[in-house]
Amino acid sequence: MGDIEAPENNRSRQTIAHSLLPSKEFITSRKGLLLLGEVVMSFISFVCFAASTAAAFVTAPIIEFLAALFLLFAYSTKFNERFKGFHWPLMDFLRCVSASIIFFIISIMSVSKYVDGASKAAGVFGFITTIFFALDFYFIFNELANFLKGGDSSEEPPNAQDDDSDSDSD
């Protein structure tokens, strides 16, 4: 009986593992690649900042790493589709804008103020991470702008009135 239960238990473990891993379709998409790059570069920046004398800046990379990892998980498993109350693209846009600004500032400070090699490496990886976040918010901005343009063109403008309506503008 132990032989019969073992393959079923193994299959359930594989199913759980596959449900937690990002789908191949999402990872190969532009958004998936950008999120994966944000996760990897934020982690590398975190490690470099932790090893440097600029360790005071270690909080921003770890928070951005966790946020990007959460969104990678949420988008790849379609977790975001279960919560319709949030406007996910707008939240993602604000996360990317704030992350790119913060990474840019701490990278400038670590490169210019600190002299050790780990601080310089943290600054360089921070600049690369800034590029990933900036690209992500650029693409999100374009998608949001296209969505807003498309939403306004399909509806009648709210100020349009019929010719026979009463107006007190006289």
- pTM across the whole model: 0.73
Selected residue with higher pLDDT from 25 and 112: 112
| pLDDT (0 to 100) of residue 120 | 94
In a domain, 99, yes or no: yes
In a domain, 110, yes or no: yes
Q: What is the pLDDT of residues 37-93, one digit of tens each?
A: 999 999 999 999 999 998 889 999 999 999 999 998 888 888 878 877 778 888 899
In a domain, 167, yes or no: no
In a domain, 136, yes or no: yes
Task: List the domain range (segments joined by +) for residue 90.
Answer: 26-151
Q: At what angle do helices 30-51 and 117-154 cross, to 10 degrees?
A: 150
Query: For the residues 7-11, what does the mean pLDDT come to?
Result: 58
Query: For the residues 92-97, what does the mean pLDDT come to?
Result: 93
In a domain, 6, yes or no: no
Mean pLDDT of the chain: 81
Could you tell me what percent of the chain has a pLDDT over 90?
A: 49
Q: At what angle do helices 30-51 and 88-113 cross, to 10 degrees?
A: 30
| pLDDT (0 to 100) of residue 61 | 95
> Which of the residue ranges 79-88, 90-99, 138-147 would you say has the lowest mean pLDDT?
79-88
Q: In total, how many domains does the chain have?
A: 1
In the chain, the largest separation of any two C-alpha atoms, in whole Å, equals: 90
